[in-house]
Structure 1
Amino acid sequence: MEKKHILIICQYFYPEQFRINDMAFEWVKRGYKVSVVTGLPNYPEGKIYDGYGLFKKRKETINGVEVYRIPLIPRGNGKLGLVMNYFSFPFFGFFWNLFTKIKADEVFMFETSPMNQCKVGVAYAKKHKVPCYLYVQDLWPENVEMITGIHSPIVIKPIERMVRKIYKGCTHIWGTSPSFVTEIRKYVDEAEADKVSFWPQYAEEFYEPLPKKEHKGFNVIFTGNIGQAQGLEILPEAAKIIRSEGYKDIRFTIVGDGRARHSFENSITDAGVWDLFEFAGRVQPTEVPGYLAGGDAAFISFADDELFAKTIPAKLQSYMACAMPIIASAKGETARVISEADCGMCSDIGDAKALAENIIAMRKQSDARLRELGENAYAYNKEHFAKRKLMDEMDNYLN
């Protein structure tokens, strides 16, 4: 049977680093024709990448994927720029829908904020009478409330109506955690509850255990975006407590960058623990396993918001695929996975003292126990988050 033509709608795509890149490339390998409608790359720095623009590289082919870039306003560094960015993609997407000649068999939407980007995919699917699939990475309106602090019905009710309309226009919806499925179903008609299901994220093949590199002390590594949602300010607080307990060999390596890096660095300054921190900056995802090989444990944290209790972050699968013991400042879904896998230690969000105690306890573990924790993480990831198995499941829907 001839494989179908998938049209991916996502505001972000390569060279921006999101997991939809790997999914698109994998579908090409599996024989699908894949087209992507996306924006001009600007995440996370907030400015258009070099080589791209209104009149540059608006159409290109990447690893067999046909990529079409519609205009948008870059995120910038302030809230106004972010709002303009969020509205610009669906605005220009409306005009793209009027004139596009792309004839796809089905639409797949990879939804990270903003959710209103999905208006473009739902409109295309309705116009061309094709199935429309949605993979939810960020819950709305919860994400808006968390980021803005706005809870007024005047703002939130219109967003809820938009979300319901988007969900109504979808053939099937996936959430990245069981809790996400529960939340999504609140905005779906009861008769259509079965069209929402759990499909976890996976780690790309290059996330794998590498031989350990020699390093000094006990090295805790964080990789990924440094944003408000990560709540990394807890780490300097814990480092200060660790130092007061007399442990001088524990170090923290931060691999990544983001909008909240400046405030995170200020929190390190305020705690007076700069000598315990090292920043590697932003690196390519393929380089991350090499950095993890120079660490003893990998770190995950969240800002203090109930939304994150429902989240299984993509970096958890990446850490587990690299056989890393995990230290987390988290609750809910993340804490559940770490407990089920027996692959690390988890303290409550915002509890710096408990986090410091867990880091010290992890540092005291024998090399054999650290290896065991890493092996447990790897085994759990292979059983529950294996790429091949998950993509095979997705094929059943797409065909």
Structure 2
Amino acid sequence: MRLLIVTQYFWPENFRINDLAREFHKRGHAVTVLTGMPNYPSGRFADGYGLTGPYRETYDGIEVIRCPMVLRGSGTRLRLVLNYLSFAAMASIRGLLSSRDRYDLIFVHEPSPLTVCLPAIVIKWLTMAPILLWVLDLWPESLSATGAIRSPRVLNLVERMAQMIYRHCDRILVQSMAFMPHVAQQQVPPDAMRYFPSWAEALYEATTAQLPLPEGVVLPKGFRVMFAGNVGAAQDFATILSAAERLKSRDDIHWIILGDGRMFTWVRQEIDRLRLRKTVHMLGHYPLESMPAFYAQADAMLVTLRRDPIFSLTIPGKVQSYLAAGRPIVAALDGEGARIIQEAGAGCVGPAEDSEALARAVLQMADCAPETRERMGRCAAEYYRTHFERNMLFDRLEGWMQELAHSSLAMKSTPLAGAKG
């Protein structure tokens, strides 16, 4: 199968679409990726990239076509709008110029923004390839929830755009079952939707205490609760820091933050303002390959989201990684993410934006017997194998892709066959 992946984010940016592209290449499919110049989450060009490119390269045997675009910069509203729109425009042009070869299917990775699908629609017009859209973020709901857009008129325009985009897609995958009613509201028929959750890269399943940390990294001794991922507005660091402040007299409890993002500077300033440097440690961003070693040194992993109806529908991607690594989880979130952790018996869950409940959960986890945490970790790993194991999900996705590609090919050939008859 000749597969085109359209995604605004790709290696060396850390997204699961990298793992998906590698796996489908290994399975014998001809994979091409249409993407932007890597600048997430720092807002600056990744090492080795710049205004001069490279605009074509190969990654693990996968052809990568990159587009010039406005960088995220400091993540202001204007810069993000320009970032999203410039990718949509330039990827449409690059897609048309690079689509001399016919594709059997276009797979669109949409963690946000939804505008990433616009180039796919343009390429579909030229190649007649069907589109499979993987929705990881709901628009316009998430824009309203994060306060990125407050104008009802603009939100209405975004909703109309979402309806247009969904209408041009042949199948829509949703990362959470709770997304389905919202996507259906955009006039998508139920038989056009499939549930396809995130998974964890295979390296997480091999987590052991013997893995070495990156050179120069020394973690504090004591109980370590670890957050790994995007340091952004949706992750509600105000609640994390408030909980840490409630427990700062327990200098044996250490909050370790791995990652980068729009709120990184604010979080660091708040740590100083609240005098939490002894117990809250910001280690910055490390490559994906380092994460299992960090996880193995954590006594509990932390996941949080702001309180909002849209976030309650979401399964944060880090949940699958935490489960796969067999680590107990402390959470402050509502809805689907909370349900999964509780159903798995994998940790302690409190409501979103409740710092007192989060502090209690961390305290409970710190003071429980090590055997209890070990049992939670085993439950986490078992739940992951049953519901989110990557090969199982990739087999399912491959089947849907082949079904859609064959169906599209049959539809194209039917009129020609009829003419011959």
TM tier, shorter chain? over 0.9
Name the CA distance, whole Å, in 2 between partners of 1:216 and 1:54.
44
Name the SS for the 1:230 alignment partner.
coil
* Aligned residue number for residue 266 of structure 2: 263
Q: 5+ residue gaps in structure 1? A: none
- Verify the 8 A CA contact 1:60 1:68 in the aligned structure 2: yes
* Aligned residue number for residue 381 of structure 1: 384
- Verify the 8 A CA contact 2:96 2:123 in the aligned structure 1: no
Name the CA distance, whole Å, in 1 between partners of 2:10 and 2:234.
21
Name the CA distance, whole Å, in 2 between partners of 1:311 and 1:388.
22
Q: Which moved more, 1:194-203 or 1:266-275?
A: 266-275
* Aligned residue number for residue 227 of structure 1: 232
Identity of aligned residues (%): 35
* Aligned residue number for residue 334 of structure 1: 337
Name the CA distance, whole Å, in 1 between partners of 2:230 and 2:168.
31
C-alpha displacement of 1:289:
1.0
Ranges of 4+ aligned residues in structure 1 off by more than 4 Å: none
Q: What is the one-letter code of the residue matched to 2:234?
A: A
Name the CA distance, whole Å, in 1 between partners of 2:284 and 2:148.
29
Name the SS for the 2:172 alignment partner.
strand
C-alpha displacement of 1:247:
2.6
- Verify the 8 A CA contact 1:207 1:286 in the aligned structure 2: no
Question: In the alignment, which of 352, 355, 372 is matched to residue 352 of structure 1?
Answer: 355
C-alpha displacement of 1:303:
2.0
Spell out the pairing of 1:55-204 with structure 2 (5 A cutoff).
55-77=52-74, 78-100=76-98, 101-189=100-188, 192-204=189-201
Question: In the alignment, which of 389, 398, 410 is matched to residue 395 of structure 1?
Answer: 398
- Verify the 8 A CA contact 1:52 1:58 in the aligned structure 2: no
Name the CA distance, whole Å, in 2 between partners of 1:203 and 1:98.
33
Name the SS for the 2:204 alignment partner.
coil
C-alpha displacement of 1:384:
0.2
1:74-102 deviation line (CA, Å, top 9, x unaligned):
01102221111011011112322442323
- Verify the 8 A CA contact 1:327 1:345 in the aligned structure 2: yes
2:12 aligned with 1:15, yes or no? yes
Question: In the alignment, which of 236, 241, 246 is matched to residue 241 of structure 2?
Answer: 236
The 3 A distance-change label for structure 1 pair 345 and 76 is same
Name the SS for the 1:8 alignment partner.
strand
* Aligned residue number for residue 26 of structure 1: 23
Q: Which moved more, 1:118-127 or 1:199-208?
A: 118-127
- Verify the 8 A CA contact 2:173 2:194 in the aligned structure 1: yes
- Verify the 8 A CA contact 1:209 1:323 in the aligned structure 2: no
Name the CA distance, whole Å, in 1 between partners of 2:344 and 2:195.
19
Name the CA distance, whole Å, in 1 between partners of 2:315 and 2:207.
24
User: TM (normalized to structure 1)?
Assistant: 0.95
Name the CA distance, whole Å, in 2 between partners of 1:196 and 1:300.
28
C-alpha displacement of 1:234:
1.3
Name the SS for the 1:67 alignment partner.
strand
- Verify the 8 A CA contact 1:42 1:49 in the aligned structure 2: yes
Q: What is the one-letter code of the residue matched to 1:362?
A: M
* Aligned residue number for residue 40 of structure 1: 37
Name the SS for the 2:202 alignment partner.
coil
Q: What is the one-letter code of the residue matched to 1:72?
A: M
2:222 aligned with 1:217, yes or no? yes
Q: Which moved more, 1:383-392 or 1:97-106?
A: 97-106
- Verify the 8 A CA contact 2:96 2:126 in the aligned structure 1: no
Q: 5+ residue gaps in structure 2? A: 211-218, 403-421
- Verify the 8 A CA contact 2:96 2:122 in the aligned structure 1: no
Name the CA distance, whole Å, in 2 between partners of 1:390 and 1:201.
9
User: TM (normalized to structure 2)?
Assistant: 0.90
Name the CA distance, whole Å, in 2 between partners of 1:150 and 1:168.
23
Q: What is the one-letter code of the residue matched to 1:273?
A: L
Question: In the alignment, which of 46, 49, 57 is matched to residue 49 of structure 1?
Answer: 46
Q: What is the one-letter code of the residue matched to 1:91?
A: A
Name the CA distance, whole Å, in 2 between partners of 1:72 and 1:364.
50
* Aligned residue number for residue 418 of structure 2: none
C-alpha displacement of 1:138:
1.1
Q: Which moved more, 1:213-222 or 1:111-120?
A: 213-222
- Verify the 8 A CA contact 1:224 1:257 in the aligned structure 2: yes
C-alpha displacement of 1:388:
0.6
Q: Which moved more, 1:257-266 or 1:332-341?
A: 257-266
C-alpha displacement of 1:147:
2.9
Q: Which moved more, 1:19-28 or 1:262-271?
A: 262-271
* Aligned residue number for residue 326 of structure 2: 323
Q: Which moved more, 1:194-203 or 1:150-159?
A: 150-159
Q: CA-atom RMSD, angstroms? A: 1.5
- Verify the 8 A CA contact 2:251 2:278 in the aligned structure 1: no
- Verify the 8 A CA contact 1:253 1:279 in the aligned structure 2: yes
Name the SS for the 1:265 alignment partner.
helix
How many equivalent residue pairs? 392
Name the CA distance, whole Å, in 2 between partners of 1:233 and 1:292.
23
Name the SS for the 2:109 alignment partner.
strand
Name the SS for the 2:166 alignment partner.
helix
Name the CA distance, whole Å, in 2 between partners of 1:200 and 1:142.
19
- Verify the 8 A CA contact 1:209 1:293 in the aligned structure 2: no
